[in-house]
């Protein structure tokens, strides 16, 4: 096992990794930007190294500065968390060449899944259902129009290097398709430095279902069930729950098996998530694979009792998975609400600043993963998520009751947060029935449901 790990991240996920390391008897090194000198991850780690000024590009994305910190502190491994360098194949390669273990998948895994077209083609060959669409990059509008008329409108143009919703365009007819391709291509070129786009049938009322997998270096792959992440705004998830309120046991088993097949097809190693689009009729299709630990990993931990960050570290250290699929038991239901420093009553406008009043909820079934404290100033430079409120109940109804109570107990001020939004959702009849789609947040903001 490693004796010292560097955490190349900040905020709640840096704390989350430090906590796992402490329980495993591993020493920790935090890295921080000049704007994060007062952060809890700096306080809680055994050592801390300043890696640059506030902007991410100069600090948390600064590979040279992070590798220098790793060399100076003599760590054996780096945990990248999520975001920042977590899905950067080049960074994973540099770690390898410096003989420092990257706690995550191989550079090849990351690179393959980073190209959505290649990922899709790999899944098709592995027998994982994929969304009908173009089999190659779109290079002229006539071919695109032919494909669109074959799969029937509406269609969606997606960027090959995209993901997470960036660079997507929906088209309902030939004329709009031609212009959508041009705009999607130029957006993709600007955002990703790669203008390649492809075409898919567009689903109007999908749900976002993802499956957590773990894979060790000996080819063993297990799944840890699904998460329903359908409550999103502008491709930012706000609420995640497990199990999904809409899957029956038959589809649940099929989607989990498809995820294991997907991971095996690419010789995947470490923790990963396979995202599926679920149609209203229960058919599901591969969307993309996330090659990192995700924000919402916590709800899977609650229902399985498995610490995913510890598993990531053990896998990276070359340990075999200690259990097989049948040993994994799922208990109850878990829900996560993302607490962002945003004014959900004013267009989710960012609301950085000093926290003067703070009270964390507690009691039965409540977990709070957060790096904030009373007197802490939220810097304006980074992601607005300041915490995750996670509940675990004996079933969905019980979890909802715990969440409603915990949201009532929660005080953060005077900065604005997404707590009022969550209180509103947990009183919405459609949400309470589990009857919602990806347009749900838009609908409630327009007061339609
Ligand atoms: C789609 C889709 C409908 N049809 N693809 C959004 C993020 C990225 N992972 C893919 N996304 C979508 N792809 C087809 N063919 C609808 C979405 C989508 C979405 C998916 C899941 C959750 C929320 C969403 C919000 C808007 C669009």
Which CATH architecture group holds 207-448? 2-Layer Sandwich (3.30)
The confidence score (pLDDT) of residue 167 equals 77
Kind of pairing, strands 333-340 and 411-413?
unpaired
Query: By alpha-carbon position, which residue is closest to atom 21 of ligand 1?
Result: 208
Region 130-201: CATH code:
3.30.1490.20
Ligand 1 lined by 232 (C-beta under 6 Å): yes
- Which pTM value belongs to this model? 0.96
Q: Which atom of ligand 1 is nearest to the CA of 439?
A: 25
Ligand 1 geometric centre to CA of 204 (Å): 9
How confident is residue 276, by pLDDT bands cut at 50, 70 and 90?
A: very high
Ligand 1 atom index nearest CA of 155: 15
- Report the mean per-residue pLDDT for the chain: 96
| Residue spans in the chain of domains classed CATH 3.30.1490.20 | 130-201
Q: Is the pLDDT of residue 449 over 90?
A: no
What pLDDT is attached to residue 166?
A: 76
Contacts of 250 (CB under 8 A, 6+ apart): none
Q: Which tens digit of pLDDT belongs to each residue from 205-243?
A: 999 999 999 999 999 999 999 999 999 999 999 999 999
Residue ranges of the chain assigned to CATH 3.30.470.20: 207-448
> Does residue 13 surpass a pLDDT of 80?
yes
List, by residue range, all CATH 3.40.50.20 domains of the chain: 4-103
CB of 120 shorter than 6 A to ligand 1: no
Q: Which of the following is catalytic: 111, 233, 292, 338?
A: 292
Q: How many CA atoms lie within 13 A of 152 on its CB side?
A: 1
State which ligand 1 atom lies nearest to the alpha carbon of 200. Answer: 15
| Residue among 87, 165, 289 whose CB has most ligand 1 atoms within 8 A, to mutate | 165
* Residue 161 confidence (pLDDT): 86
156 lines ligand 1 (CB under 6 A): yes
Angle of CA points 413, 414, 417, to nearest 5°: 65
Pairing relation of β-strands 333-340 and 353-354?
unpaired
pLDDT digits (tens, 9 = 90+) for 139-193: 889 999 999 999 999 999 999 888 767 779 999 999 999 999 999 999 899 988 8
* Bridge-based pairing state of the strands 377-378 and 411-413: unpaired
What is the average per-residue pLDDT within 88-107?
98
Query: Could you report the per-residue pLDDT of 35-93, keeping only the tens digit for each?
Result: 999 999 999 999 999 999 999 999 999 999 999 999 999 999 999 999 999 999 999 99
The predicted model gives 345-360 an average pLDDT of 97
Report the separation in Å between the CA atom of 199 and the middle of ligand 1, taken as the mean of its atom positions.
Answer: 13
Catalytic, 292? Answer: yes
Mean pLDDT along residues 353-375: 98
Tell me what pLDDT residue 447 has: 81
pLDDT at 433: 97
CATH for the 4-103 domain, from 3.40.640.10, 3.40.50.20, 3.90.1280.20, 3.40.630.10: 3.40.50.20
Q: Please tell me the distance between residue 63's alpha carbon and the centre of ligand 1 in angstroms.
A: 32
């Amino acid at each position: 096992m490693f004796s010292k790990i560097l955490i190349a991240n900040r905020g709640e996920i840096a704390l989350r990794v430090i906590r796992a390391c402490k329980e495993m008897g591993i020493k920790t090194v935090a890295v921080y930007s000049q704007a994060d000198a007062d952060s809890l991850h700096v306080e809680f780690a055994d050592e801390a190294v300043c890696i640059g000024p506030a902007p991410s590009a100069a600090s948390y994305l600064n590979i040279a500065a992070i590798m220098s910190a790793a060399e100076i502190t003599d760590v054996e491994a780096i945990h990248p968390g999520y975001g920042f360098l977590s899905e950067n194949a080049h960074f994973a390669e540099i770690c390898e060449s410096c003989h420092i273990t990257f706690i995550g998948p191989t550079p090849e895994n990351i690179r393959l899944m980073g190209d959505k077209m290649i990922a899709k083609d790999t899944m098709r060959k592995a027998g994982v259902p994929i969304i009908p669409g173009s089999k190659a990059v779109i290079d002229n509008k006539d071919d695109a129009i032919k494909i669109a008329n074959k799969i029937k409108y509406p269609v969606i143009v997606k960027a090959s290097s995209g993901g997470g919703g960036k660079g997507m365009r929906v088209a309902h007819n030939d004329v709009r398709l031609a212009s959508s391709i041009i705009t999607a291509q130029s957006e993709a070129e600007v955002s990703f430095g790669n203008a390649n786009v492809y075409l898919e049938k567009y689903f109007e009322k999908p749900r976002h279902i993802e499956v957590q997998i773990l894979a060790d270096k000996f080819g063993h792959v297990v799944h840890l069930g699904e998460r329903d992440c359908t409550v999103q705004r502008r491709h930012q998830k706000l609420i995640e729950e497990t199990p999904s309120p809409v899957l029956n046991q038959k589809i649940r088993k099929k989607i989990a098996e498809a995820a294991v097949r997907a991971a095996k097809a690419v010789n995947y190693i470490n923790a990963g998530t396979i995202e599926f689009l679920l149609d209203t009729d229960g058919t599901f299709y591969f969307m993309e694979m996330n090659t990192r630990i995700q924000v919402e990993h916590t709800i899977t931990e609650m229902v399985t009792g498995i610490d995913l960050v510890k598993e990531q570290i053990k896998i990276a250290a070359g340990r075999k998975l200690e259990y097989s699929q049948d040993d994994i038991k799922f208990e109850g239901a878990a829900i996560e609400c993302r607490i962002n420093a945003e004014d959900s009553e004013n267009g989710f406008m960012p609301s950085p600043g000093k926290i003067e009043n703070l009270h964390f909820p507690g009691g039965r079934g409540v977990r709070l993963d957060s790096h904030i404290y009373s007197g802490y100033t939220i810097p304006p430079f980074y992601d607005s998520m300041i915490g995750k409120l996670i509940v675990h109940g004996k079933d969905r109804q019980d979890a909802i009751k715990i969440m409603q109570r915990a949201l009532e107990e929660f005080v953060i001020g005077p900065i604005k947060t997404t707590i009022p939004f969550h209180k509103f959702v947990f009183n919405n009849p459609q949400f309470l029935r589990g009857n919602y789609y990806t347009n749900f947040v838009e609908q409630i903001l327009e007061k339609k449901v």
